[in-house]
């Protein structure tokens, strides 16, 4: 459980733009771990990056901003779609993984 009895937040994401071949998954992993988030990130055949992140609400919101505005140094983010955002009582993953 999060501190203060708060629920964790879970959200799915898809980042569209120049996000493959620019270490986007590596930087996403690094930023998620730094924020104490769990979940995964993966390239798609469509050229986007998808994933799920779970953790304390403020950290998930910060990560959403990072995915939308920053990304990896050589990425060019056109848009970011978030869906199925919901509070959860416990994290459903142990780590934040890069799926190859």
Residues that are catalytic = 25, 43
C-alpha torsion sign, points 63, 66, 67, 73: negative
**What is the DSSP track for 20-72?**
SSSSHHHHHHHHHHHTT-EEEEEE-TTS-EEEEEEE-HHHHHHHHHHHHHT-S
């Amino acid at each position: 459980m999060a501190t203060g009895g708060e629920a964790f937040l879970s959200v799915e994401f898809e980042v569209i733009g120049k996000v493959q071949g620019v270490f986007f998954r590596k930087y996403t992993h690094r930023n998620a771990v730094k924020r104490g988030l769990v979940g995964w990130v993966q390239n798609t055949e469509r050229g986007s990056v998808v994933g799920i992140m779970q953790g304390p609400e403020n950290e998930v919101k910060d990560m959403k901003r990072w995915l939308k505005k920053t990304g990896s140094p050589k990425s060019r983010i056109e848009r970011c779609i978030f869906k199925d955002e919901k509070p959860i009582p416990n994290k459903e993953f142990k780590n934040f993984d890069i799926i190859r």
